[in-house]
Amino acid sequence: MNPPRRKIPFGLADLLAAKQAGKLPIVAVVLCAFLFAVIIYSEDIKSLAELSFVRLKSNDLFSRDLSNPSPNSTNSSQVELSNEEEIEKRKKDVMFVDVPASCDLSQGAWVFDNVSNPLYRERECEFLTSQVTCQKNGRADDMYQKWRWQPKDCALPKFDARLFLERLRGKRFMFVGDSLNRNQWESMVCMLQSELSRRKKRITKEGNRVIFHAEEYRATLEFYWAPFLVESNSDDPEIHTILHRIIKPESITGHAVHWKGVDFLVFNTYIWWMNTAKMRVRRPTAKDWSEYDEIIRIEAYERVLRTWSNWIGENVDPMKTSVFFMSISPLHINPEAWGNHEGIKCAKETLPVLDYKDPLELWTDKRMFNLAANVTRSMSGVPVTFIDITKVSEYRKDAHTSVYTIRQGKLLTPEQKADPAKYADCIHWCLPGLPDTWNLFLYSRILSKP
């Protein structure tokens, strides 16, 4: 028995007959057949196209590393979004935080919070250096880890390491500056590293750069040593304990060549300027560092910021790179400023300054603060976000490494710890601690933008 003949759509049989009779070119037959198929199966084609579009859009917006999925994630083939509104809602929920640009994060108060803080544990972050591991170095109290900054007119979002890593996927994030920016870099590494598989995270060193690799996200979190931003006689990342510091205020290319193409640049420079009231500046025609002039510190700082801002304007693509400038991290070497007339620098301080209405006189050079703020805010070609951490940090006399740190690569001896007037470090900060809040400021500004 012959199989039943397949029914040919009306009109298509006539076309085939015409072709067999030699009355119609084969191209016309193929084209007409395609049009018939589109008409007959148009609804099925439309449904498949819409489903593919939704899945493509979903994967694009909410891409996850399939080798390390979120516990609540589903297979992409199961994701079906009903409409564009649902896509936009999920995009907003997943990819952004709601911190208005108009909110001044620097205005607020410290609130004790031992539930959400610390953001990580010292013993659980293998990447911390001995300079900042205060608990390991003998500090008995841990109250300094449990304070949360509450801005006056908005709220800081809860830190979501996976969300931030998604924003960094395939990108480079670099801190550039002195040891306080390294302090902040270590904090950021610890805030992120718990979301990464043990064998997918590592640190390497290349010249002035220390690089944390988040391999699952093809991202790097880097620190670049340049304490003055411009070239100086203190640029060796390992050997830079130099009594007479000298800068080349118009020379930045030697450092800046390593900043090109970076997706997020976070700069700072301050503490290395504070040894003397005048700055040594190498003469343009000098053959070595022995030939220099001395100029007022603020004048040298202005020249450096002008050099830096010119380089940013000429070499940074604002469509690719986001630029930030961290304000001054204050020192706490004058306990009378917070009413402790018997104190010795920041030693034995266990609480922040609370309910203090007058500004603290910590000998911070406010001229340098204002100059950096004005220069960054005037850069319209390449926008630079000025992050004010100074006011927030002034009240944290309790958060420094003090005598629970290292000196010239070695932990302080019991005898040195007993002499805080000489050995207490009231510049750098314990981790976990205050720099985590600085990074929350960065997190808020980065994730509140597309």
Give the rounded percent of residues in the chain with a pLDDT score beyond 70: 79
For residue 111, the cross-strand partners are: 148
HEC string of the chain?
A: CCCCCCCCCCCHHHHHHHHHCCCCCHHHHHHHHHHHHHHHCHHHHHHHHHHHHHHHHHHHHCCCCCCCCCCCCCCHHHCCCCCHHHHHHHHHHHHCCCCCCCCCCCCEEEEECCCCCCCCCHHHCCCCCCCCCCCCCCCCCCHHHCEEEEECCCCCCCCCHHHHHHHHCCCEEEEEECHHHHHHHHHHHHHHHCCCCHHHEEEEEECCEEEEEEHHHCEEEEEEECCCCCEECCCCCCCCCCCCCEEECCCCHHHHCCCCCCCEEEECCCHHHCCCCEEEEECCCCCCCCCEEEEEHHHHHHHHHHHHHHHHHHHCCCCCCEEEEECCCCCCCCHHHHCCCCCCCCCCCCCCCCCCCCCCCCCCCHHHHHHHHHHHHCCCCCCEEEECCHHHHHCCCCCEEECCCEECCEECCHHHHCCHHHHCEEEEECCCCHHHHHHHHHHHHHHCCC
Residue 79 has a pLDDT of 43
Residue 213 has a pLDDT of 98
- Which of the residues are catalytic? 179, 425, 428
6 or 217, greater pLDDT: 217
User: Does the pLDDT of residue 83 top 80, yes or no?
Assistant: no
What's the full length of the chain, in residues?
A: 450
Residue 359 has a pLDDT of 78
- pLDDT tens digits, one per residue of 376-423: 999 989 999 999 999 999 999 999 999 999 998 899 999 999 999 999
Contact of 247 with 230, CB cutoff 8 Å: yes
Q: Looking at 70-84, 198-212, 383-397, 417-431, which range is the least confident one?
A: 70-84
Residue 96 has a pLDDT of 73
- pLDDT tens digits, one per residue of 342-373: 999 999 999 999 987 777 899 999 999 999 99
Q: Which of 62-76, 91-105, 254-268 has the highest mean pLDDT?
A: 254-268
Residue 86's pLDDT band (cuts 50, 70, 90):
low
Give the rounded percent of residues in the chain with a pLDDT score beyond 90: 74
Residue 76 has a pLDDT of 40
If you classify domain 112-447 with CATH, what class do you get? alpha beta
Region 216-240 average pLDDT: 96
User: Does the pLDDT of residue 447 top 50, yes or no?
Assistant: yes
Residue 263 has a pLDDT of 98
Region 49-64 average pLDDT: 33
Region 114-134 average pLDDT: 97
Residue 68 has a pLDDT of 41
User: Does the pLDDT of residue 29 top 50, yes or no?
Assistant: no
User: Does the pLDDT of residue 142 top 60, yes or no?
Assistant: yes
Region 262-270 average pLDDT: 98
Residue 249: how many other CB atoms lie within 10 Å:
25
- pLDDT tens digits, one per residue of 385-398: 999 999 999 999 99
Residue 239's pLDDT band (cuts 50, 70, 90):
confident
Q: Looking at 3-7, 245-249, 423-427, which range is the least confident one?
A: 3-7
Which residues 6+ apart lie within 8 Å of 136 measured at CB? 122, 123, 130
Q: Looking at 40-44, 127-131, 344-348, 354-358, which range is the least confident one?
A: 40-44
Residue 78 has a pLDDT of 41
Residue 55 has a pLDDT of 32
pTM for the complete prediction? Answer: 0.80
Residue 240 has a pLDDT of 86
User: Does the pLDDT of residue 7 top 80, yes or no?
Assistant: no
- pLDDT tens digits, one per residue of 149-198: 999 989 999 999 999 999 999 999 999 999 999 999 999 999 999 999 99
